[in-house]
Amino acid sequence: MKFTFDSALRSGAQINVNDTIAVLYSNEIERQIENLKGEVVAAKAALVLNATGEKESIIKQEKKTLSMQ
């Protein structure tokens, strides 16, 4: 794991909303992100495969669920 503060950050400096004050890098976090991306791809493929013959309301709900991920 690697944690570094922004080098431009100085003592007494004002920090605003959405400012990046530090960066965290972790191989484990990267692995989990890639795993989740793969799950999203699989879920989208399953949605397309299962869309045939399904009720429109079920399809809309699954698309909504996927869009929130």
The number of distinct structural domains making up the chain is 1
Tokens, residue 56: 């429109």
Predicted pLDDT at 54: 61
Which 3-state string (H, E, C) describes 2-57? EEEECCCCCCCCCCCCCCCCEEEECHHHHHHHHHHHHHHHHHHHHHHHHHCCCCHH
Q: What pLDDT, on the 0 to 100 scale, is given for residue 48?
A: 79
- pLDDT 10s digits, 9-20: 888 888 889 988
Instruction: Give tens-digit pLDDT for 21-55.
Output: 998 889 998 999 999 999 999 988 888 777 766 67
B/e letters for 27-36, b = 16+ CB within 10 Å, e = fewer, are: eeeeeeeeee
Name residues whose C-beta falls within 8 Å of residue 25's C-beta, 6 or more positions apart in sequence. Answer: 1, 2, 3
pLDDT at 65: 83
Q: Which domain holds residue 27?
A: 2-67
